[in-house]
Amino acid sequence: MPDTDYLIVGSSHAALEAVTAIRMHDHSGSVTLVTRDRHPPYSPTILPYVVSGRAKPERVPLRDSGWFAAQGATFVREDALVGLDPDAFTARLESGAMWRYGKLLLATGARPVVPDIAGLETVPRHVLRTLDDAVALREAIGAARRAVVLGAGLVGMHAAENLVTAGLDVTIVERGAHPLPLYFGATAAAMIGQAFAARGARLLCGRTVASAQGGGDGAVALALDDGETLATDLLVVAAGVVPETGYLAGTDIGLGAAGGILVDAHMRTTRPGIWAAGDVTEGPAFGGGVAVSGILPSAVDQGRIAGMDMAGDRVPPYDGAIPLNTYAAFGRHAVSVGDALAEGDDLDVHEDGDPETGRYRRLVLRDGRLVGATVIGEAIDGGILRQLILRRTDLTPVKDAFLAAPRDTARVLMSRLWR
Amino acid sequence: MTHVATNAPRVIVCDGNQAAAWGVALAKPDVVAVYPITPQSSLVEYVSQFIADGTLTATLMNVEGEHSVLSALQGAMLGGARTYTATSGPGLAFMFEPYMRTPGLRLPMVMSLVTRDGITPQCVWGGQQDAMTVRDVGWIQIYCETVQEVLDTTLMAFRIAEHRDVMLPVNVCHDGNYLSYGVSRLEIPDARQAEAFVGPTDVNWHTALDPARPMAVDPLTGGAGGPGPALFVRYRKSLCAGMEAALRVIKEVHADFADRFGRHHPALVEAYRLDDADRALVTIGSMTGAAKDAVDEARAAGTRVGLLKIKTVRPFPVAAVADALSGVEAIGVIDRAVSFGWNTGPMHQEVLAALARGGRVVPSLGFIGGLAGADITAEHVARAIFDVGRLRDGQAPAGPVWLNETD
Amino acid sequence: MGRSFDTIRFRAEACDACGQCVIACARAKTGTDDTSRARLQILGGGTEGAELALCRQCTDPQCAAVCPSASLAKDPDSGVVTWEAETCVDCLLCTVGCAYGGIASDPVAGHVAKCDLCDGAPECVAACDRGALEHVTASRLYNTQHEREDLFAPGLSACHGCNSELLIRHTMRHIGRETVVAAPPGCIPGMGVVGYNGQTGCKVPVFHPLLTNTAAMLAGLKTQYARAGRDVTMVALAGDGGTVDVGFQSLSGAAARNDPMLFICVDNEGYMNTGMQASGSTSYGSWTSTTPVGEHMQGKSGDAKSLPMLMMMHNGAYVATASTAFLEDYHEKLEKAYATAQHGFAYLHVYAPCPTGWRFPAALTTEVCRRQVETNFVTLWEYTRDGGLRFTRPVEGRRPIGDYVEMIGKYRHLDQTHLDVIQHQVDERVAFLRRFAAPAGG
């Protein structure tokens, strides 16, 4: 039975950060990465750009083989984790291989949700979670004239933008009241929706698909809940993702309400010797509570913390995940940091927008401290806003300046702090 | 390089300083450091000239004082050099700090001490106050009687010092004025024979400052806790063991010298007409010649007097002294130095101590003479023999007797 | 890991927000005067001082960690965090990762832009005549030094904040193993360099000479290595007591004979290892345990003896002063001193303010060293037989001596009269040294 001091399952941001962190502290322990993917490591975030052609598949790897050699890490591809025996410290792979590990990091990410829609299982459809998915979708665009995207989250909207740009007739079906409901409020979402509408896309919000039926030549007919039928050559299902945890069957490793692997502030699971990081986790959220973060910056932070803790390095506890999102549609950038959608009497919300210029801001403060921000169409340093939130910097002395010119005021504050 | 072989005259007439310089030339040190001081100056002039002429292929360091002389030589020895220097009186006092350190470092250096009386009163003349004052520092001290013995002892000193059982520095002492400037016949050994006798240089096998053998030389050692006390004692005991071994090695080297060169010198002590003596004088250094004459005269007059010359003062030949004096009933010890707190001479004390270790208490009288270049004549010694005779007869004169008090 | 790189240092107190750097950057990087496109931005500039937004070229750049297209990376040679236009997908996640505002969208170009240090010659620094921006290239030192072996054990027991350990580690890393170190009694052996009861903190041959004889002892050792035809460098790491006071005779002799060695005096102005007694190097007015302060004494009443000047007067083959606040300067001198020590006498006088004995916070040692130089209390110069004396740091525009004295507890009792005396001494000393300095350009 092969064995390894550190077994890391997954090969994206969390896994890679963990390797680096382990090697900062432990030069000699054996490190093995196992991934079900057949490609070198890449970021799921890059996939919409592969679809659009902006990113070439051969240019997306985050690390090359030289990096693994330099880290002294073994990289096993195309073999998925299918089972664990936490008592025996063994991991079973799809190929039948059993690995004995000293410490295990689960960084297996998430998989797309297939909504419970009659017939959906049987019709041709695309999802966007792997590089192969992205390449397949890109190839399918060329043969299609009409497209339907189920879900107006980040993945769906990004895919939709690509399809619009490719010249397809695009319809987006979103169950929520407006697109990108997890990231933007109604006003901002409306501005985004207008950008799509201006380019001929249909955005059907507050609607769901009742059933799907296959037609000839790969065409699909979708019946909406209000009786409308959409015929399409290309169906993209972007209804969200759930943590990839099937291999935990039969173990007592704790899962959260949203299906993620429960982790503490050191990314430890409920079983000794097993850590988890990235999209697969359900862990501390900044400000309290537990959440599936599911964003790239959280995966980086969590992977690093997990790696340090696994190697016995001293690591301060995780601050908790802070939502951090960037979104661009048709060249217009939006940045959302922290609890940008928060509503409440205890909040000091400053919102203004100008549909003409496409500028929009929503700055949310509590007790003079920033808790969240959405900024569209103007320059902002999301990283500095994040620091202001994390550090609970008191903005009271500079509040007027901050509200008038958030970027420059925040830069002054941070420059002074770093000195 | 065997310049000595081609240049050396076999027999010359010279003073003790030049004889010492010949001994140095034959021993072939690598580094010689010098600073002049009366009555040593002509010695280092001779050595310097030998180096200038190529008679000796050593590197000459002219440094700015005796303190640096000894310091430079310590450095050179830690790099593997055989070294030599000479000093006297105030020069010895000035170098005392590194002098005190040389035995503990177990550096087998050879240094001529052209003995000089201590200041103050300010004086530039002979006397053994300088050498006697430092006899407990850890250097081997050998005192010469004749010009020939100066050369021969200097040569032997390198072999004694570098013996692996000894590894201690040696002072070859010869009296300022009497030996430094006194002229007599000198036989110079063959250079190749001398080189074979001394052997190859081997001075830093135990402690070195060499990147090829990195070590910390002489870090702090001791203190009241940890390994300090035991470690310090180990070093001290090892030095004592070196001294004890030197008693044997000095005799072996003298015997080997006699075999190779045909000249017999007493190694530790010399007993002269002691076999049937009922009284004895103890002498040291160049005074011994006059004393032997006085003994001969007294013997001719029927007095059963003998003489014991102490050649090696450190290590002190306790057994040899006690053994040589085992038959006498009274002794007189002539010192050329003063032990101030004891109101006598240092050799007097030490001879008494050596006898006492064997359980003997012998009537004794201390004589102090030859201070600051004063003569010790046969007449002075005759008086001493007379006083010892009175002592033997129970008429104890008060000591010490200052031999030159009425000169 | 383990490398250091050049960086741009910002001194906010010197910046008046004139904007020349921003214009220079915009021109260099965009060919326009559109300062909104510059890669550094100066903000504020009012009474609260100016602030800077600029890439820090982080060792562990978060912009790169969160980049999904691997378009940002730390260049292992230059240290610049590079950005690759071809693979960038304009997602702006990098701007969310950076906590400095160091990477931001260029509104005209339509993608992010960041500082690349202009290939090692930053235009912004060249444009700044206020001294607010400095291209710090000390990384070369770190990179060359850290590749070399540290010849002392970790954990030497120097006092908190002592710069001697820094100094001797730098020195011996540079000089290497073919060396013999002599460390006479003082702080340097006291911190474990020579050792204690059979253990040592030094990986090269090391000797604990007498306080008095370091130079002579090394001269003798070198003599033997010269005879043996071996190239071994002699290094003395001595305090001021073993140099200025009782060590002076043997030092003077070695200097006069041009004995090949590198003699380094680490000057902390007294016998700090044994309880802060005064030495010949103790400066005027200093409190020490033997120049105390009381009704009848106000610290040391005489001036310090200047050993570097005396060594210059010995016509030493290479003589220099140095400060650990200016390590590049020190290394340049060390290089020359080391080369000189192969065939002649080299002397380095390095100032070592003592937090314990001088009574200042341990964290301020380097600042104290810097202030010594900025006030001309210490001047940095070198002397060679060919070139004479040359100041290696400017001596014009000194700060008043009070700026230095106020940092040090041992001067706490001094009044304005004393300060005037010290100021006079400092200015007189500089004027004196100037007479030996080669004319400008000569």
Which pLDDT tens digit goes with each residue over C383-430? 999 999 999 998 888 999 999 999 999 999 999 999 999 999 999 999
pLDDT at B405: 95
CATH 3.40.50.920 domain locations along chain B: 269-402
Task: Look at A287 and B111; give whichever has higher pLDDT.
Answer: B111
Q: Are C362 and C160 in contact (CB under 8 A)?
A: yes
Q: Are residues C376 and C307 in the same domain?
A: yes
Please state, in angstroms and rounded to a whole number, the distance separating the CA atoms of residues A192 and A11. 33
> Which residues from C are below 8 Å from B80, CB to CB?
224, 228
Strand order in the sheet with A369-376: A324-329, A332-338, A369-376, A359-366, A348-354
Instruction: Give this prediction's pTM.
Output: 0.74
Q: For position B2, what pLDDT does the model report?
A: 42
What pLDDT, on a 0 to 100 scale, did the predictor assign at position A330?
84
CA distance C310 to A81: 76
pLDDT at residue A407 greater than cutoff 80? yes
Beta-carbon separation of C221 and B80 below 8 A: no
From C113, C140, C167, give the residue that closes a domain. C140
Task: Report if residue C440 sits inside a domain.
Answer: no
| Fold designation for B10-205+251-258 | Rossmann fold (3.40.50)
Q: Which two tokens stand for residue A397?
A: 């002395």
Strand duo B170-175 + B110-115: pairing: parallel
Per-residue pLDDT, A417 = 85
Give this complex's ipTM.
0.95
Whether C389 is in a domain gets the answer yes
**Under-50 pLDDT residues of chain B:** 1-6
Q: Which of A412, A413, A414, A417 best tests the C interface by mutation, with the highest count of C CBs <10 A?
A: A412
Could you tell me if C103 and C184 lie in one domain? no
- C275 and C136, same structural domain? no
Do C364 and C406 fall into the same domain? yes
- What is residue C47's predicted lDDT score, i.e. its pLDDT? 67
> Which residues in chain C are contacts of B226 at CB distance < 8 A?
197
> What total of structural domains would you count in chain C?
2
Residue C407 lies in a domain: yes
Q: Are the beta carbons of A318 and A283 closer than 8 angstroms?
A: yes
Same domain, C261 and C404: yes
Give the span between the Cα atoms of B376 and B367, in whole angstroms. Answer: 11
Closest CA to A93 of A166, A197, A180, A7: A7
A27 CB within 8 Å of a chain C CB: no
Neighbouring-strand partners of residue C61: none
**Facing residue for A43 by CB, picked from C68, C96, C105:** C68
Domain edge (last residue) among C140, C170, C190: C140
Task: Walk along chain C (442 residues) and give the pLDDT tens digit of each residue.
Answer: 467 888 899 988 889 999 999 999 999 999 999 999 999 999 986 667 789 999 999 989 999 999 999 999 999 888 999 999 999 999 999 999 999 999 999 888 889 999 999 999 999 999 999 989 999 887 778 888 888 999 999 888 999 999 999 999 999 999 999 999 999 999 999 999 998 988 899 999 999 999 999 999 999 999 999 999 999 999 999 999 999 999 999 999 999 999 999 999 999 999 999 999 999 999 999 999 999 999 999 999 999 999 999 999 999 999 999 999 999 899 999 999 999 999 999 999 999 999 999 999 999 999 999 999 999 999 999 999 999 999 999 888 899 999 999 999 999 999 999 999 999 999 999 999 999 986 654 4
| A417 close contact with C: CB closer than 8 A | no
Of the partner residues A55, A335, A408, the one whose CB lies closest to the CB of residue C96:
A335
User: CB C208 to CB B101 under 8 A?
Assistant: no
A43 φ, ψ to 5°? -100, 135
User: Do residues C120 and C261 both lie within one domain?
Assistant: no
Residue C45 is part of which domain span? Answer: 7-140
* Interatomic CA distance for residues B387 and B396, integer angstroms: 8
Distance CA C151, CA C203 (A): 5
Residues C382 and C400 placed together within one structural domain of the fold = yes
Give residue-wise pLDDT tens across range B63-82.
999 999 999 999 999 999 99
Q: What is the DSSP string of C129-151?
A: -SS-EEEE-THHHHHHHHHSPP-
Verify that C201 and C335 share a domain, yes or no: yes
In a domain, C330, yes or no: yes
Shared domain for C341 and C220, answered yes or no, is: yes
pLDDT value, residue C439:
64
A300 interface with C at CB cutoff 8 Å: yes
Q: Is the peptide bond before B120 cis (omega within 30 degrees of 0)?
A: yes
Output the pLDDT for position A357. Answer: 84
Give, in degrees to the nearest 5, the angle at Cα B259 between B253 and B265: 60
Interface check for B80 against chain C (CB to CB < 8 A): the answer is yes
> Which letter does DSSP use for residue A315 in this model?
-
Is residue B276 within 8 angstroms of chain C, CB to CB? no
Does B228 reach chain C within 8 Å, measured CB to CB?
yes
Query: Helices (DSSP H) in B178-286: which residue ranges?
Result: 191-198, 228-261
Judging contacts by C-beta atoms under 8 Å, the chain C residues touching residue A384 are 98-101
Same domain (yes/no): C22, C168:
no
CA atoms within 13 A on the CB side of B140: 39
pLDDT tens by residue, A347-371: 999 999 887 888 999 999 999 999 9
CB B122 within 8 A of CB B184: no
Minimal-distance CA residue of chain C relative to A60: C69
- The neighbour count for residue A329, using CB atoms within 10 Å, is 21
Asked whether residue C439 is assigned to any structural domain, the reply reads no
CATH code of the domain containing C247? 3.40.50.970
Specify the pLDDT at position A386.
Answer: 96
> Which residues make beta-bridge pairs with C69?
none
Q: Do C161 and C134 sit in the same domain of this protein?
A: no
Supply the CATH number for residue C86's domain: 3.30.70.20
Q: Strand C261-267 vs strand C345-351: parallel, antiparallel, or unpaired?
A: parallel
- State whether A335 and C95 contact (CB < 8 Å): yes
DSSP B180-201: TT-EEEEE---HHHHHHHH-S-
- B269-402 is a CATH 3.30.70.120 domain: no
Q: How far apart are CA A340 and CA B222, in angstroms?
A: 70
Which of A29-38, A321-330, B88-97, B211-220 bottoms out in mean pLDDT, i.e. has the lowest? A321-330
Residues 322 through 351 of chain A touching chain C, CB cutoff 8 Å: 324, 326, 328, 331, 333, 335, 337
B-chain residues near C157 (CB < 8 A)? none
The reply to whether residue A383 touches residue C93, judged by beta carbons under 8 angstroms, is: no
Show the tokens assigned to C439.
Answer: 């004319």
A97 touches chain C (CB under 8 A): no
Which of C401, C301, C408 shows the shortest CA–CA distance to C358?
C408
Match 């050049």 to its residue by tokens.
Answer: C6
pLDDT band at A216, cuts 50/70/90?
confident
**Is C441 part of a structural domain of the chain?**
no
Q: Given an 8 Å threshold on Cβ–Cβ distance, is A381 in contact with C65?
A: no
Q: According to CATH, where is 3.40.50.970 located in chain B?
A: 10-205+251-258
| Neighbours, chain C (3 or more CB pairs < 8 A) | A, B
User: What is the model's pLDDT at position B9?
Assistant: 55
Tell me, yes or no, whether C115 and C228 share the same domain: no
* Residue C293 maps to a domain: yes
Tokens describing residue B117: 């009386």
A309 with A275: CB under 8 angstroms? yes
Measured between CB atoms, which of B31, B214, B227 is closest to C203? B214
Using DSSP's 3-state secondary structure scheme, residue B110 falls into strand
DSSP C218: H
Of the CA atoms within 13 Å of residue B279, those in its CB half-sphere come to 27
Interface membership of C108 toward A (CB under 8 Å): no
Is the minimum CB–CB distance between C109 and chain A shorter than 8 Å? no
Tokens of residue B247, six digits: 């008693």
Q: How many CB atoms lie within 10 A of CB B216?
A: 26
- Among B35, B71, B221, pick the best mutation site for testing chain C contact (most C Cβ within 10 A): B71
Residue-wise pLDDT for B253-272, tens only, equals 999 999 999 999 999 999 99
Of the candidates C41, C70, C98, which has its C-beta nearest A61's C-beta? C70
Average of per-residue pLDDT across A187-211: 92
Read off the tokens for B312: 């090696």
Most A CBs within 10 A among C47, C51, C96, hence the mutation to make, goes to C96
A46 contact C CB<8A: yes
Q: Is C142 exposed, middle or buried (0-12, 13-18, 19+ CB in 10 A)?
A: middle
The shortest CB-CB distance from C225 to any of B79, B218, B226 is to: B79
